[in-house]
Amino acid sequence: MANPEHEDVTRSRDRELGMDRNITRRDFLNGVTIGVAGALASTWLPGMLAAQTSAPTAQDAPGYYPPTLTGMRGSHPGAFETAHSVRDGNFWEKAGKPTDTGETYDLVVVGGGISGLAAAYFFREHAGPSARILILDNHDDFGGHAKRNEFRPGGRLLLTNGGTVSIESPFPYSKEARGLLTELGIDPPVLEKKYSGNVAFRDLGSGYFFDKDTFGTERLVTGAPGGFFGPQSASGKKWGQFLAKTPLSTNAQESIVRIQEGTADYMQGAPQAEKKARLSRMSYKDFLLNVVKAHPDVIPFYQSRTHGLYGIGIDAVPALDCWALYFPGFQGMGLDRTPSKGLTFTALGAVTPQEEYHFHFPDGNASIARMLVRSLVPGSAPGSTAEDIVTARMDYGRLDHGDSSVRIRLNSTAVAVRHVGDAASAKEVDVLYGRDQKVYSVRAKGALLACWNTVIPYICPELPEEQKKALRYGVKVPLVYTVVALRNWNAFRKLGVRSVSCPGMYHSSINLDQSVNIGDYKSSQSPDEPILVHMLRAPCQPGLSAREQQRAGHYDLLATSFETFERNVRDQLGRVLGSGGLDPARDIDAITVNRWPHGYAYEYNPLWDPDWPEGKRPCDIARQRFGRIAIANSDAAAAAYTDQAIDQGYRAVQELLSS
């Protein structure tokens, strides 16, 4: 039975946090709340909805502009129900007879992320400007993970990335990926030189927040020595002083000083190769506990340090990866920074830094997606440069227009992709998709699946069994990028921090948006101005294998309401930054939860995955062309990077063209 006293406390705490405030979290699209409009416009919800939108399709309606929507974004309500219904096997029993659109294409691309958009670009390059291409995506916006969030606190435009952050890669971009960027007008080294860094934050540092539930006492400790990553995280030499201010036990403090500053070789006498092999088969947590012999109290302090890059904690990330990423504890072990077996894709690039690129557009790599669309669909956006795309307003009404040879159809989930006749000899494929509670079909000379591997066996059951098994192997990494628009950032200035690590809290970090001035876009410069704040949540479950954690996190994210996120955001910001004067009820203008239940592509993890022979990894088997159907997307590379998505798009197009 509900406890009335407890309910009163919750209600009064909610009021304190501002849960009753009218922030821009309830989304409006053409005057109708998105919860309804989004569902009407974008999803197949058999039997649930009777009404129809007045516009022919949502994306053609005047004012349709999803980047400004706040609240639950990423995998937003309306985006995934159709696919889940296909997965659960109850879609077809409720679906009516497909309507034949009569449309024919040279290519249908399933998935309007960077991989699908790049594939369309490469295909058109080969097949010519009149090639007819249809791109289908289940979301209300294009870009896949490369999504843009727009806010207007106090009328001022603030942009950020809803997913993909930067042009970066552990390895140099391939000729094709680099060539694509060049053709679009993106020159990352030049852009980086001209537009990097927000000088307004130059003198702000980092801190840790110790929450009561995890550490016994609630405390923000600023002035953390070194960064969280990079060579400096191991040095700094001021850990003793810093730790003395924390609520950590003396034993934990001593262990952390040893981990951060010690120079012991914990595997003395063992050859390099053996040390690395051992480190690749143990987690960083086990390394700290069993090799460094650190006090167990240090684990909560380090647990979430891998969340941003891996979406899982140190219990599931190999120690060798952590060494490659300059985590502390290895400085006395004499490991040479050469590539070695047993590193994940991310870490392999980090041992011999050869990254040529690191550039962050204010909306992340959504700018790449927007430039691709601008190039593919005439009239979809004004301008022609990497600078003017930043503030360009896309015309969504142009995306699926009959007078363009390339069309992008949003809110459309592919539910079946099948050859017309036998796969070995077929010349055409039929692609069926669900939209506005109906099923439609189009015909094409080929289909390119730039969606997620996990989806493909359901929409393409005619694939060979071995390939379907391989497609199901990787489990994408769930992750949340919550973005909060604040009316000012005085609290950060007062406390002297731009980033706070919160190892035990709902979101494991809080960061001021790393925005830059570019083109007509002006980032926040003064603490009195509005700003965007990023909060990261990895819904992982320590103790399980990486794949099991990812599966559990996926369900957890889909079951968590926006209200729960909002309450946690308000509570956390108030507790962490309240001593600097932040009042969540007063200072929060808008909240967007970029929820990615299918986030990073699965990267092979030596703690659980076998050491497959070259060319025999599940992703190698999964991406084989099957008749007139080719497979792209970053899952096909088992690597969560933009350039990999582009490379896979290129490969898949070559396969189709040569078949």
Ligand X SMILES: Cc1cc2nc3c(=O)[nH]c(=O)nc-3n(C[C@H](O)[C@H](O)[C@H](O)COP(=O)(O)OP(=O)(O)OC[C@H]3O[C@@H](n4cnc5c(N)ncnc54)[C@H](O)[C@@H]3O)c2cc1C
Q: Which residues bind ligand X (CB under 6 A)?
A: 83, 110-116, 136-139, 144-146, 163-166, 168-169, 413-414, 450-452, 455, 459, 479, 481, 596, 599-601, 633-634, 640-642, 644-645
Angle between the 114-127 and 642-657 helix axes, to the nearest 10 degrees?
Answer: 40
Residue 307's closest CA among 531, 68, 511?
Answer: 511
**Residue 632 Cβ vs ligand X, minimum distance, rounded to whole Å:** 7
Q: Which residue, 276 or 595, has its beta carbon nearer to ligand X?
A: 595
Q: Which residue, 169 or 304, has its beta carbon nearer to ligand X?
A: 169
**Residue 576 Cβ vs ligand X, minimum distance, rounded to whole Å:** 22
Q: Which residue, 280 or 344, has its beta carbon nearer to ligand X?
A: 344
CA–CA gap between residue 541 and residue 312 (Å, rounded): 8
Strand partners, 482: 535, 593
CA–CA gap between residue 183 and residue 1 (Å, rounded): 64
Asked whether 122 and 391 are in contact (CB, 8 A), the reply is: no
Q: Which residue, 165 or 607, has its beta carbon nearer to ligand X?
A: 165
**Residue 359 Cβ vs ligand X, minimum distance, rounded to whole Å:** 10
**Residue 259 Cβ vs ligand X, minimum distance, rounded to whole Å:** 28
Q: Which residue, 73 or 258, has its beta carbon nearer to ligand X?
A: 73
CA dihedral 449, 455, 458, 460 (to 10 degrees): 10
Q: Tell me, what DSSP letter sits at residue 25?
A: T
Residue 208's closest CA among 217, 225, 218, 221?
Answer: 221
Q: Which residue, 354 or 525, has its beta carbon nearer to ligand X?
A: 354
Report CA torsion sign: 513, 504, 240, 285. Answer: negative
Asked whether 412 and 82 are in contact (CB, 8 A), the reply is: no
Rounded to a whole number, what is the distance in angstroms from the first to the last CA of the chain? 65
Q: Which residue, 83 or 392, has its beta carbon nearer to ligand X?
A: 83
Q: Which residue, 72 or 645, has its beta carbon nearer to ligand X?
A: 645
**Residue 323 Cβ vs ligand X, minimum distance, rounded to whole Å:** 22
Q: Which residue, 324 or 451, has its beta carbon nearer to ligand X?
A: 451
CA–CA gap between residue 6 and residue 30 (Å, rounded): 39
Q: Tell me, what DSSP letter sits at residue 290?
A: I
Q: Can you tell me whether residue 501 is helix, strand or coil?
A: strand
Q: Could you tell me where the beta strands, DSSP code E, fall in 64-161? A: 71-74, 99-105, 107-110, 133-136, 148-151, 158-161
Complete DSSP assignment for 200-226: GGTT-EEEEEE-HHHHSS-EEEE--SS
CA dihedral 14, 20, 26, 32 (to 10 degrees): 140
Q: Which residue, 177 or 294, has its beta carbon nearer to ligand X?
A: 177
**Residue 130 Cβ vs ligand X, minimum distance, rounded to whole Å:** 25
CB atoms within 10 A of CB 31: 7
CA–CA gap between residue 217 and residue 232 (Å, rounded): 28
Strand partners, 133: 107, 406
Q: Which residue, 168 or 387, has its beta carbon nearer to ligand X?
A: 168
**Residue 398 Cβ vs ligand X, minimum distance, rounded to whole Å:** 19
**Residue 448 Cβ vs ligand X, minimum distance, rounded to whole Å:** 11
**Residue 73 Cβ vs ligand X, minimum distance, rounded to whole Å:** 12
**Residue 142 Cβ vs ligand X, minimum distance, rounded to whole Å:** 8
Q: Which residue, 340 or 346, has its beta carbon nearer to ligand X?
A: 346
**Residue 385 Cβ vs ligand X, minimum distance, rounded to whole Å:** 21
Residue 90's closest CA among 136, 45, 43, 36?
Answer: 45
Q: Which two tokens stand for residue 472?
A: 């199901």
Question: Beta 429-435 vs 438-444: how paired, if at all?
Answer: antiparallel
**Residue 281 Cβ vs ligand X, minimum distance, rounded to whole Å:** 27
Q: Which residue, 66 or 112, has its beta carbon nearer to ligand X?
A: 112
CA–CA gap between residue 188 and residue 178 (Å, rounded): 9
**Residue 451 Cβ vs ligand X, minimum distance, rounded to whole Å:** 3
Angle between the 114-127 and 175-184 helix axes, to the nearest 10 degrees?
Answer: 80
Q: Which residue, 330 or 481, has its beta carbon nearer to ligand X?
A: 481
**Residue 581 Cβ vs ligand X, minimum distance, rounded to whole Å:** 31
H/E stretch holding 431 reads strand 429-435
**Residue 79 Cβ vs ligand X, minimum distance, rounded to whole Å:** 7
CA–CA gap between residue 659 and residue 651 (Å, rounded): 12
Q: Which residue, 550 or 634, has its beta carbon nearer to ligand X?
A: 634
CA–CA gap between residue 640 and residue 145 (Å, rounded): 10
CA–CA gap between residue 407 and residue 405 (Å, rounded): 6
Q: Which two tokens stand for residue 231?
A: 């060579």
Report CA torsion sign: 274, 276, 278, 280. Answer: negative
